Structure 1
Amino acid sequence: MNIVLMGYMGSGKSLIGRTLSEKVKMEYLDLDDYIEIQEKKTISDIFSDKGEIYFRKRETAHLIEVLKKYDNKIISLGGGTPCFLGNLEILKEDSNVQSIYLQTSLEELTKRLLPERHKRPLIAHIDTFDGLMDFIRKHVFERSFYYNQSNHIIKTDQKDANQISEESIALLF
């Protein structure tokens, strides 16, 4: 089984993926890191050089590749991965995939993302807490339709990585 973590940027997919990996002794793969290695460019550079549409097409190709190539992995997706180009259907149709949506409140996402916004192409231009919260609110509203189709949903607010990992284990094993 591949365990796929999805959720908005800043929801803790990478941290939970690494923590869960240690607990269940499965290898961890971050799809964004995988894309950067394969494309030999950072996500930010891909966005700025080729645009979001190009990136989303490459993201889908790499997602398909990863699901075919690997088994028994914990895979964290980019925040938008399940929302574009049929990626959610690819995940849902793969009987080897169990997906978990890490659901995080708008306030918590904004607190986490404001200090690191310059590293994230979609929000690098937003300078205020309120502006970022409005942006996140709109995005999460648009994306929640996709996220909520995951096999499992875990609310992450006021929980640490160990608690979320233990909750994931209880759902999956």
Structure 2
Amino acid sequence: MKEVKIVLVGYMGSGKTTVGRIVANHLNVNFLDLDAFIEEGEKMSIASIFKEKGEIYFRKKEIEYLNKVFLKDESFVLSLGGGTPCFGNNMEFINSKTPYSFYLNVGINELEERLVKEKEHRPMISHLADDKLTEFIGMHLFERSFFYNKAHHKIKSNRNTPTEIAEMIVNKLV
């Protein structure tokens, strides 16, 4: 198989990491999570970076590490943080480097059902009351969907399993 670089974008809880691992496994290529790559390089958690150095520092580092990933001369599946496509010219950069950017489009209700269970692990929403979650996700998704929709491919989840979504992605590879 020729070199293939697959990038998954979407809102938190859309399944980028889970689906990405399945796709990478299926294709027998490396799976990379940009947030984990940043944490490894910076020797601190994303939450700590935000808290200690601020979002602007983090967003600059995010661009730097995104560039490093694409310098790799190998096939991979890359899962981005939910905000990555929305800053700088990240989506344009990604789309210029690969024809395989995928937006995992998950509805607000499905996202809310997933995220309410893992709120304490999500710094952006951990402080919200459960009854404020739907409104927050809806507003945030509205702001970000402009960037997510720039992806070359859109995968709409209608309560599909991660394996079914991975299959949809693999079937779109030429």
Fold conserved between structures, TM > 0.5? yes
Corresponding residue number in structure 1 for 2:171: 170
* TM-score normalised according to structure 2 size: 0.94
Corresponding residue number in structure 1 for 2:161: 160
Aligned-partner residue type, residue 135 of structure 2: D
For 2:37 and 2:78, locate their aligned partners in 1 and report how far apart those are by CA, in whole Å.
10
Q: Report deviation, 1:97.
A: 4.6
For 1:80 and 1:11, locate their aligned partners in 2 and report how far apart those are by CA, in whole Å.
13
For 2:37 and 2:25, locate their aligned partners in 1 and report how far apart those are by CA, in whole Å.
19
Corresponding residue number in structure 1 for 2:100: 98
User: Runs (4+) of structure 1 moved beyond 3 Å?
Assistant: none
Counterpart among 23, 26, 38 of residue 23 in structure 1: 26
- RMSD of equivalent CA atoms: 1.1
In the alignment, structure 1 residue 39 sits paired with structure 2 residue 42: yes
For 1:55 and 1:157, locate their aligned partners in 2 and report how far apart those are by CA, in whole Å.
33
Structure 2: 5+ residue runs without aligned partners? none
For 1:61 and 1:70, locate their aligned partners in 2 and report how far apart those are by CA, in whole Å.
17
Q: C-alpha deviations, 1:128-155, integer Å up to 9, x for none?
A: 2x31111111111011001011010001
Corresponding residue number in structure 1 for 2:89: 86
1:63-78 to 2 correspondences below 5 Å: 63-78=66-81
Q: Report deviation, 1:71.
A: 2.6
Contact 2:110 2:159 survives alignment (8 Å):
no
For 2:8 and 2:27, locate their aligned partners in 1 and report how far apart those are by CA, in whole Å.
15
Corresponding residue number in structure 2 for 1:146: 147
For 2:30 and 2:162, locate their aligned partners in 1 and report how far apart those are by CA, in whole Å.
17
For 1:62 and 1:6, locate their aligned partners in 2 and report how far apart those are by CA, in whole Å.
16
Corresponding residue number in structure 2 for 1:9: 12
> For structure 1, which segment, 111-120 or 74-83, has the greater mean C-alpha deviation from structure 2 after superposition?
111-120
Q: Report deviation, 1:47.
A: 0.9
Q: Percent sequence identity over matched residues?
A: 44
For 1:31 and 1:65, locate their aligned partners in 2 and report how far apart those are by CA, in whole Å.
10
> Size of the alignment, in residue pairs?
171
* TM-score normalised according to structure 1 size: 0.95
Aligned-partner residue type, residue 127 of structure 2: H
Contact 2:10 2:16 survives alignment (8 Å):
yes
